[in-house]
Structure 1
Amino acid sequence: MTAARPGLPDAAEQRFRDALRGLPGRVWIVSLGILVNRVGNFLPVFIVLYLTGRGHSAGAAGLVLGVSGLGNVLGNTLGGYLADTLGRRWTIALSGVTTAGLTAAVPYLGPLSAIVAVVGLIGVTSHVYRPAAAAALLDSVTTDRQRLAAFGVFRAAMNTGAALGGVAGGVLAGVSYTQLFLANAAASLLFGVLVAVLLRDAPRPRAAEEEQAERAAGYRRALADRLLLRFLLMTAVAEFVYIQSTVGLPLHVTDAGLDARDFGLLIGLNGLLVLALELPATGAVARYRPEHVLAAGNLLVGAGLALTGLMTDMTLLAATVVVWTCGEMITSSVSYAYLGSLTPPHLTGRYQGLHGAAYTVGTGAGPLLGGAAYAVGPWTLWSLVAAAGVLSAYLCLPPRRAPAG
């Protein structure tokens, strides 16, 4: 049967800080693995520069990115299935090892068709671990506050790894792309080995007959959950809005007469705020209903990015970055924890797989739709962002019940 839907936080539940201190070791093991993996996650960032540097066209690089994005969607759904059947530990290990082997082959590939095929497969294997990692965290905790603390630590590890990886990747790319991709492969392999050696799957009690039937139904059963479908639609819309920070924002910066250095400073401000403040911000909103936190956060992201179109100097643009970054910080961990509260234990992998697929659809479609809207006119994009921000906030709120009668 479906887990109880979330309501108001329990006043007797421990404080967020206490929940952090009491997190089980499995949360720290998974988070350590994520940190290692993100530090070495160079291929998605540098593949375009690598391809154009080898003489391939921008269109060819776009094809590779498109195939990789499709692979990300497939990887999340496959990972959700494997997490519920093969287990969290071995799904993560399989993802790390296969991604390592494929990534190590990239600098030695010749024809573009081979690069498209292998990078597409990497898109699949590199996302298989995601539902299993989230499911492993959910297996380890029991209360809403613990779920929020676990995903707060998880997100902190991701953000720290991404920041360190950006610096390390830039250094390695300046030396050799072969070394860059081999380092990526080594990080993926270490991730898989760490989890295989240190992590143990939580014991799973024998499911009741009804739960066994639901588990056998798999994604069909998950997609029958209307509240989940609403959450997935919210995720896709919210990610379309957020990804405009890498699409509409740089286009606007250029049109405003600023340069790439200015855009880098704005994105650096976002990264600095997230690294320094996301975990405290997560603790600050832990006492409120997750639906309301998600709605407020999505409104902030939508408003902050929509206001970009009104600003033409760095001070005001930096202020808009602060606004949408605040929205990002209060929604990121809460969305994972909230989904965990919706999830039947025997379908955790499938629910997380669908969440990852919706996230990938939003981030994949966002650049295409955002770029097309900006081509029509900048205000077309910013109006669309504002409307999508309001829609994503509305979708966070519980649906109204039909009146009895």
Structure 2
Amino acid sequence: MSAETADRARAGELRFRDALRGLPRGVWIVSLGNLILQAGSFLPVFIVLYVTQRGHSAGAAGLVLGASGLGRVLGNVIGGYLTDTIGRRWAILLSVMVTSGLTASVPFLGPLPAIIAVVGLIGLVSQIYRPAMAAVLIDSVTSAQQRLAAFGVLRFAQNIGSTLGGVLGGVLASISYAGLFLVEAATLLLFGVIVAVLLRDAPQPRSDFGTAETRADPAVGYRQVLTDRTLVRFLLMTVFSMFAYIQTAVGLPLHVDDVGLSARDFGLLMGLNGLLVVLLELPITSVISRYRPEYVLAVANLLTCGGLALSGFTAGMSLLAATVVIWTFGEMAYSSIVQAHLANLTPPGMVGRYQGLYGAAYALGTGAGPVIGAAVYAIAPCVLWTLVGVLGLVCAQLSLRLRGPDAVADEPVSRPGDAPPGRTT
């Protein structure tokens, strides 16, 4: 490494540290609230066990999961619209308060259709806050470096909360499922109180390009938003990458069992993943802040999908652990930058809708991945792992085309409401 390159790297690291130290109050409020929320989020994990314990079949549990997954996709889309129209704070409050009441009702539901309907509605309403939360972070900062730092802190809080939630949920489920869901409802209320008391919608900041952000035009719908071809590429990249990543919970455990390892061994592999994420994701965010985000996303997708594809052709704990390290580094790099880069690509006044579509694409990929992945694995495991590897190449290619408006002068990003630009090669 040359002296000039080393100086530039040190300068980038110092800027990231300064950005962390200078994060405004709203970022810390939202991150603390998200930690609490994730620590008390049990229903998505334990609903299948609850439904089967009530005497329903595995097929019935699948219907409940399907309703929840469909609700999650729609909830992000609706949440994006509400974020841009009624405001970030009110969208969050609407989401958590209604979700709290619905979650508290789950233990008292009788017929299976009622459970399916309520859990599907929970899936929808519970996602409304996600684009609003992302918008709060984007509103609170004024530079790309701060934006990356803000999402890094949010992710760190989420990882800590999810780790605590897994332990706490297991303890509560062993005591009472009714208590489990009531604790989740209380956690949602606590998050709502934090938002109501401490959070206010920030004035729209000036962008990095010196122009003031404008309020969303309610007349601009998702059809106009989707004329932005850069956004469409971003959404396709998200669906494909999440389809591949979710095989960590579908194809990977099936492969671990097929090669003669135990559930305990799979737990150790996932524990390695969790440990690396908690310890290294924030430092990795500092490192990747020095590079162009589209390059980071391309490399991250190659590492994630390539590592997972290798795991499908690997046996033995040592080699599987090595592949876990590979795809975990890809996961950390991807998660650290993906929403922040989407904010770089977002036109004024459209933050909620762009983040909502990202959430819907995320939910679609993670929802379709288990169904399709399990079906393909049952036919031919090697086909699934080859597909994951190919998706990594496709996602890397899509990532390289996710350039912000400052990247090239001759390829402007189309704006919602504009006439669709001519087809490019």
Could you state the TM-score of these two structures normalised by the residue count of structure 2? 0.89
Change (3 A) 1:213 1:270: closer
| Distance (whole Å) between structure 2 residues aligned to residue 339 and residue 205 of structure 1 | 17
* Contact 2:295–2:399 under 8 Å retained in 1: yes
Change (3 A) 1:24 1:213: closer
SS of the residue corresponding to residue 260 of structure 2 reads: coil
SS of the residue corresponding to residue 357 of structure 1 reads: helix
| Distance (whole Å) between structure 2 residues aligned to residue 108 and residue 213 of structure 1 | 41
Change (3 A) 1:403 1:59: closer
Write the deviation string for residues 78-97 of structure 1: whole angstroms up to 9, x where unpaired: 10011011110111111111
- What does residue 261 of structure 2 align with? 258
Write the deviation string for residues 50-99 of structure 1: whole angstroms up to 9, x where unpaired: 11111110000000000000000111011001101111011111111101
Write the deviation string for residues 6-29 of structure 1: whole angstroms up to 9, x where unpaired: xx99x7996111100000000001
Q: Confirm or deny that 1:319 pairs with 2:322.
A: yes
- One-letter identity of the residue aligned with 2:177: Y
| Distance (whole Å) between structure 2 residues aligned to residue 137 and residue 213 of structure 1 | 17
- What does residue 58 of structure 2 align with? 58
The percentage of counterpart residues that share the same residue type is 65
- One-letter identity of the residue aligned with 1:307: L
| Distance (whole Å) between structure 1 residues aligned to residue 108 and residue 264 of structure 2 | 33
- What does residue 39 of structure 1 align with? 39
Equivalent residue for 2:275, pick from 261, 272, 276? 272
Q: Confirm or deny that 1:337 pairs with 2:340.
A: yes
- One-letter identity of the residue aligned with 2:128: V
* Contact 1:282–1:333 under 8 Å retained in 2: yes
Once structures 1 and 2 are overlaid, which stretch shifts more, 394-403 or 288-297?
Answer: 394-403
Change (3 A) 1:196 1:22: same
Write the deviation string for residues 223-243 of structure 1: whole angstroms up to 9, x where unpaired: 111101100100000000100
- What does residue 247 of structure 1 align with? 250
| Distance (whole Å) between structure 2 residues aligned to residue 399 and residue 333 of structure 1 | 16
| Distance (whole Å) between structure 2 residues aligned to residue 362 and residue 203 of structure 1 | 34
* Contact 1:106–1:115 under 8 Å retained in 2: yes
| Distance (whole Å) between structure 2 residues aligned to residue 187 and residue 64 of structure 1 | 23
- What does residue 307 of structure 1 align with? 310
* Contact 1:215–1:346 under 8 Å retained in 2: no
The correspondence of residues 231-242 of structure 1 with structure 2, limited to 5 A, is 231-242=234-245
Structure 1 unpaired stretches of 5+: 1-7
Write the deviation string for residues 131-180 of structure 1: whole angstroms up to 9, x where unpaired: 00000000011111111000000000111100000000000001000110
Change (3 A) 1:116 1:381: same
- One-letter identity of the residue aligned with 1:331: Y
| Distance (whole Å) between structure 2 residues aligned to residue 280 and residue 106 of structure 1 | 40
| Distance (whole Å) between structure 2 residues aligned to residue 178 and residue 84 of structure 1 | 36
The correspondence of residues 154-303 of structure 1 with structure 2, limited to 5 A, is 154-204=154-204, 215-303=218-306
- One-letter identity of the residue aligned with 1:117: A
* Contact 2:306–2:392 under 8 Å retained in 1: yes
| Distance (whole Å) between structure 2 residues aligned to residue 24 and residue 88 of structure 1 | 16
* Contact 1:234–1:392 under 8 Å retained in 2: yes
Write the deviation string for residues 39-58 of structure 1: whole angstroms up to 9, x where unpaired: 00000000001111111100
- One-letter identity of the residue aligned with 1:124: L
Structure 2 unpaired stretches of 5+: 1-7, 404-410, 412-421
- One-letter identity of the residue aligned with 2:113: S
- What does residue 141 of structure 1 align with? 141
- What does residue 372 of structure 2 align with? 369
* Contact 2:13–2:287 under 8 Å retained in 1: no
* Contact 1:96–1:190 under 8 Å retained in 2: no
SS of the residue corresponding to residue 227 of structure 2 reads: coil
- One-letter identity of the residue aligned with 1:62: G
- What does residue 418 of structure 2 align with? none
Equivalent residue for 1:380, pick from 379, 383, 392? 383
SS of the residue corresponding to residue 92 of structure 1 reads: helix
The correspondence of residues 77-92 of structure 1 with structure 2, limited to 5 A, is 77-92=77-92
- What does residue 15 of structure 2 align with? 15
Shift of residue 220, structure 1, vs aligned partner: 2.5
SS of the residue corresponding to residue 23 of structure 1 reads: coil
Shift of residue 205, structure 1, vs aligned partner: 8.2
Shift of residue 361, structure 1, vs aligned partner: 0.5
* Contact 1:97–1:192 under 8 Å retained in 2: yes
- What does residue 28 of structure 1 align with? 28
* Contact 1:215–1:347 under 8 Å retained in 2: no
* Contact 1:262–1:314 under 8 Å retained in 2: yes
| Distance (whole Å) between structure 1 residues aligned to residue 262 and residue 386 of structure 2 | 24
Aligned length in residues: 394
| Distance (whole Å) between structure 1 residues aligned to residue 267 and residue 236 of structure 2 | 31
SS of the residue corresponding to residue 56 of structure 2 reads: coil
Change (3 A) 1:330 1:12: closer
SS of the residue corresponding to residue 219 of structure 2 reads: helix
- One-letter identity of the residue aligned with 2:278: L
Shift of residue 403, structure 1, vs aligned partner: 12
| Distance (whole Å) between structure 2 residues aligned to residue 331 and residue 107 of structure 1 | 37
Write the deviation string for residues 181-229 of structure 1: whole angstroms up to 9, x where unpaired: 00111111111121111101012489x9x96785521323321111011
| Distance (whole Å) between structure 2 residues aligned to residue 264 and residue 205 of structure 1 | 45
Write the deviation string for residues 245-284 of structure 1: whole angstroms up to 9, x where unpaired: 0000000011011111111111111111101100001111
| Distance (whole Å) between structure 2 residues aligned to residue 329 and residue 134 of structure 1 | 18
- What does residue 5 of structure 1 align with? none
| Distance (whole Å) between structure 1 residues aligned to residue 127 and residue 328 of structure 2 | 25
More helix by share: 1
